[in-house]
Structure formats: C-alpha cells, structure tokens
Chain A
C-alpha cells in the first residue's frame, strides 16, 4: 500500500515499457512509457484505437501486463488487483458506465468511500460540499441524472478516497460544451491538491488547454511527448492525430 508522504518526496506515476492487451500475446499497447508527477495534469491523446483507454485500464490493474512495470511514488503497482490498487491511492473514472445507475447518489458515494477504510460519512460530506449539485440530488437514483451530473458524480466517487493518482477516460465525452468545460476546468483545482491526473481525451484542444504535459499515442506506442501548450501549436500533432501523415503515406504506396 502506498504510504502518504509530503508531496515533495513523492515521485508520482511512472510507467516503464508497458506492454499489455486483452488477450495474452496480442498486445494493444507496446513498450509505452510515461510519467505524471504529483499535481501534474498529463493528457494522452491519439487517434481512435491507439490504445489510450487500454493504457489507463492497465495502470488501474484491470488488464494483465505482459512486460514493463508501473510505479506510484516509487512503489511497484504492476499486477496488483484493481480493488487493492484503488485502496492504495489509484482512482479511475471510466468513459462509460462510470456510476451505478440503479443506486442513489448517496449509495454511489458511500460505496466509493469503502476505500477510505472506516468512516464513510466524513469523506462523503466533503464531496457533497465540493459538488453542491450532488447534495441536491443526494437521494435521487443516479441513472436519472443528466450527463454532466453523472460525470461529476463519477469524479466525486473517484476523489472521495483522496487518491494520489486520478485516471480519467474521456471525461468530456457525451457532455454539452458547457458541462465539458466545467468538468475539464475542475481538473486544475483537483491537481492543486497534489493529485497526479492522467487523462485520455478526444477533445484535444480542450485537453491540452488544461494539461501541463501530453503524450501522443498511436498504434499502441509512444509517438510524441511534450509540454501541452507547445503541442497545442505544433503542426506535427495535427498530422499524427488526424492521420494526415499516414494518409499521405498510403496514397504514395498506392501510386
């Protein structure tokens, strides 16, 4: 289990040469490496099928690692069961199905607060103060919430146990522009409490606008790494992300 040290001593997340997939011998991500320091927001961007979500699931312990390793604050977390990992400071917000729809907001938060090992009321109350719209819907069935409210509930569930690392899979997917802006805008505030945030996001411009650094993943491999604000203005990003380079290459081969 990760011990809570002062932020300055903590190394954050380090992924080294990670190879993993859904079927052994058929990896989706190959030799991927990245870091996310405490208080840092790191975006992972890339075309569809690049393995971005697979990378997050692997870090969260949901997929088997074929090679490479993951460390959090210097401690190896490779191959640890997801439930154990979640109690060790790793929280994840999946892209879809990220709340328990048949349960109330209260039950969702209480369930997530199991990771606090003991008292659930205090951390749940803290989340209700942080997300007032959830306090208003406390007894409401989570399945009846709007898309934005669901996403805030999912983030509150992830934050309720004060994680060291927050993994976000497409946090703005399916949201209205206003709700997406609110969700992404909140990340800065979360990171200020020394949480490392690793975010997969299709909305590249919005993701880079709130991120400190970014990695571009394509065909399951690291393709590019840089400061988010620099990548935002880099023409290479557009070429790789939009697949222009590959399209050109294919066209040349065809000729």
Chain B
C-alpha cells in the first residue's frame, strides 16, 4: 500500500507537469491539443541528443550527481531542451494552429493536433529508432526505506519528486506574485476581458506554449528517468494527461497539478485490486467519473 502510494505520487507529479501545459493551451485556445503529449517525447529525446553532445564535449560533464544516475551533462541537456521544446511548441502554433484559428473551427484544430502528434511521433521513430532506450544504462538500485510496510525508493525517484515540487512552487509563485503570471491567468480565464485590460493575447499565447513545452520536456525527462525513453511514451501518457486536466478543471493550473496526482494515485492504487492489464482503462474511468460528478472539474469555472 505504502509502495503504491509512493509510486502513485511519483507518476502523478510527472503527469501534473505535463497536464499544466495542456490545460493552459486547452483553455486559452479552446481546443483539445492531442499533440501536447508528443512534446513530452520530443523534449525527452532532445535531452538525449544534447546529453550525448555535452558528454562528447567534456568528460567532466559525465560526472554523476551524488547517489544519482543523473549526470551534469544530462541536467544541462535538460535545461537546453526545455527552451528548445518550448520554442518549437510556439513555432508549431505559429505555423499550424494560429492559421487554423483564423480560418477554421476548433474541431479542425483538434484533427490538426492529431496530425502534428503523428508527425512528431514518427519523426522521433525515424531518427532514434523504435526501440526504447535509457539516459543511463547503469542499473540503479533501490533503497529500502521501510521493510514493513515495504517501501523501495530509488535516489532518482526522490530527485524527480524534488524537481517537480520545486517547479510547482516556482510556478505557483510566478502565477500568484508576478504581473505576467496574473496576465497569463487572466488570458486563461477570460481572453476578451484580458485584452481590454491591456494584455497582449498573442504574447500570452506564445508564453503559454513556451511554458507548456518546457514543462512537457521536464515531464518527459522525469518519465524517462523513472521508466525509459520510447517514441510512443507521449501516446501512452496522452489519456492520463487529459484525465488530469479534466479532473482538475480545464484552465486551472492548480487543478491540473492536483488532477495529475489524483490520476497517478488512482492508477497506482487500482493495481491493488485489478490486474495490470486493465491499468490503461483507469484514466478513462476517471474522465467518465469526473464528467459525471463534476463536469467543470475540481477547480474549473462553469462555462
């Protein structure tokens, strides 16, 4: 039970990172962006390439952080990948979604997002191959934090939890203390009112893509550290991300963070009573339950 709780919180925190960008874009641009999950794969693979580049540049960068399988080059690679994926996400919006917003309806954008997602996934498969891989092939051993009830935790997992907590806290401070954070929340809540209060919609949309892309990269790296890199990792996460965004309430950043934890915990705890093969159905069930009990989600505003 304790192990399941820990695993659920870990997976949930990764989902939260991915769901925040998804919920922001979904609410501001009013369309379900199915390609968002592929930003997770994109960011994770960018990190893989940059990690190899940095490691080739200097051998000192291959030094592992104390107790972790994470190297300095991987951390640097992740920081660069955050920016690159964010900029690419904003570029995809400019090249595809912005044009469709001006000329077509939300449904067209949803189908376009499927297309973009397929393209990204297949390009990753083409470039990196279809086999799964790891950032570090060393075997990471788990520490036994408790024997009864059993709780096995890897140092990398604590690192992931630490990163997500710090990022969430930073995002909270950004959203609640800065005028840019207010502006982003305002655009997310009511784009028309935000504009007549002097907020540049285009700039905020670009910022939302940048944040969404960066957080997706972080989610991708954390997911890959906990599991493995695979071209289909985004596809595997997409339903859980939507479930997290819907449970939390579309548009709510705090809702997405909590929604991610709920979905992660539900998936992990469900394994105590259902066979592993049924685990992928859990996000569906959560979406159905959320829509039935609270259609606007935990923090969502009635539309």
Contacts and interface: CB of A to CB of B under 8 A. Distances in A.
Given A102-B301, A114-B179, A83 B189 contact: no
A103 B186 contact: yes
Contact of A112 (B195, B197, B200): B197
Interface in B53-106: none
A102 B189 contact: yes
Interface in A78-100: 81-83, 86-87, 91-92, 94, 97-100
A210 interface: no
Most buried by B among A87, A114, A115: A114
Given A110-B182, A114-B179, A83 B199 contact: yes
A50 B196 CA distance: 23
A187 interface: no
Contact of B198 (A83, A94, A103): A83
A114 B189 contact: no
A82 B195 contact: yes
A111 B201 contact: no
Contacts of A97: 190, 192-193
Given A60-B196, A86-B198, A101 B182 contact: no
Contacts of B201: 83
Interface string A131-148: 000000000000100000
Given A81-B195, A102-B252, A103-B189, 20 more contacts: A82-B195, A82-B196, A86-B195, A86-B197, A94-B193, A94-B196, A97-B190, A97-B192, A100-B185, A100-B186, A100-B190, A103-B182, A110-B179, A111-B182, A114-B198, A114-B199, A115-B197, A120-B179, A143-B301, A157-B197
Contact of B182 (A87, A98, A107): A107
B44 interface: no
Query: Which 4 pairs, one residue from A and one from B, show the smallest C-beta to C-beta distance?
Result: A115-B198, A82-B195, A86-B198, A92-B196
B245 interface: no
Nearest to B176: A107
Nearest to A117: B198
A62 interface: yes
A101 B190 CA distance: 9
B266 interface: no
Contacts of B199: 83, 111, 114
B193 A114 contact: no
A98 B183 CA distance: 15
A18 to B, nearest CB: 18
Interface string A53-95: 0000000101000000000000000000111001100011010
Nearest to B198: A115
Contacts of A99: 193
Contact of B200 (A81, A98, A111): A81
A66 to B, nearest CB: 16
Contacts of A86: 195-198
B208 to A, nearest CB: 16
A103 B252 CA distance: 12
A70 B200 CA distance: 21
B189 A100 contact: yes
A112 B186 CA distance: 10
Contact of A111 (B183, B192, B301): B183
Nearest to A154: B193
A103 B194 CA distance: 12
A197 to B, nearest CB: 16
Interface in B267-287: none
A101 B193 CA distance: 11
A161 B182 CA distance: 17
13 contacts: A81-B195, A83-B199, A86-B196, A94-B193, A97-B193, A100-B190, A100-B193, A100-B194, A102-B185, A114-B197, A114-B199, A120-B179, A161-B198
Contacts of A111: 179, 182-183, 186, 194, 197, 199
Contact of A98 (B179, B185, B189, B193): B193
Interface string A5-26: 0000000000000000000000
Contacts of A102: 185, 189, 252, 301
A24 to B, nearest CB: 11
Interface string B173-185: 0000001001101
B8 to A, nearest CB: 28
Interface in A153-186: 157, 161
Nearest to A114: B198
Nearest to B200: A83
Contacts of A143: 301
Nearest to B199: A83
Interface string B186-214: 10011011111111110000000000000
Contacts of B197: 83, 86, 111-112, 114-115, 157
Contact of A114 (B183, B190, B252): B183
